[in-house]
Amino acid sequence: MINWLERNTKFSWTITFLLAITIFYVSTLTGGKIGGKGSTINATAYHILIFFLFSLFLFISLIKGKYKELISLGIILSFAYALTDELHQYFVPGRSSSFSDVGLDFIGVIFASIIYFISLEYRNAGARNRTLAGTKPLPPQGSPFDRSGTPA
C-alpha cells in the first residue's frame, strides 16, 4: 500500500491536505473535548492519531520511498503545523492552546517517522538482498509484466 501511495503522489498529497483541513476544522470547534462529553483519553488519542496520520502521509508524499534525507523536513513541517494549530486555537472563542497538546502531536509525528523509516529500511534491504543474490526484483503486485520485464 505504501508503495502505491509513493507512486501516486497526487493521491497521497490529497490525503495529506485533507488531514490538515480536518485538524484545522476540529480546532475551530468550541466546547473543549473532542466528541462532546468524552474523557481526556479521547483528546489524547485524537492528538496522537491525527498527527501520526498527517505526518505519515506527509512523509509518503515528500520522500516517495527515495529521499530519506527529507524525513527531517517532514518532522519539522509536522511540528510547525502542530504549533500553528495551537496558535490558531488560542484565537478561537471557547478554546485554549496548550503546549501539552503540541507534545502529544509530536508523539504522533515521531511515531510516524519511526514507522516510515523502518518501512524504508526494510524495503531497501530487501532490494539490496535480491540484487546481491543475482535476482531481479519482483514487479509490483498487479503488474502486467512477468519477472523478465516483458508483457505476460
Asked if the structure places residue 91 within a domain, the reply is yes
Between 5 and 133, whose confidence is greater? 5
27 located within any domain = yes
Q: What is the pLDDT of residue 136?
A: 61
Using a cut of 0.85, tell me whether the model's pTM lies above it. no
Whether 143 is in a domain gets the answer no
pLDDT tens for each residue of 100-145: 999 999 999 999 999 999 988 888 776 666 665 566 665 655 555 5
The residues, any chain, with a CB within 8 Å of residue 131's CB and separated by 6 or more, are 137
Average of per-residue pLDDT across 145-151: 56
Mean pLDDT, the chain, integer: 83
User: Is 138 inside any structural domain?
Assistant: no
Handedness of CA 24, 29, 32, 38 (dihedral sign): negative
Rounded mean pLDDT of 74-82?
96
Range of the domain at 77: 2-132
Establish if 145 belongs to a structural domain.
no
Q: Give the SS3 label for residue 35.
A: coil
Q: In 64-93, which ranges are continuous DSSP H helix?
A: 71-90
- The region, left, alpha or beta by phi > 0 then psi within -120 to 50, assigned to residue 142 is left
Q: How many domains does the chain have?
A: 1
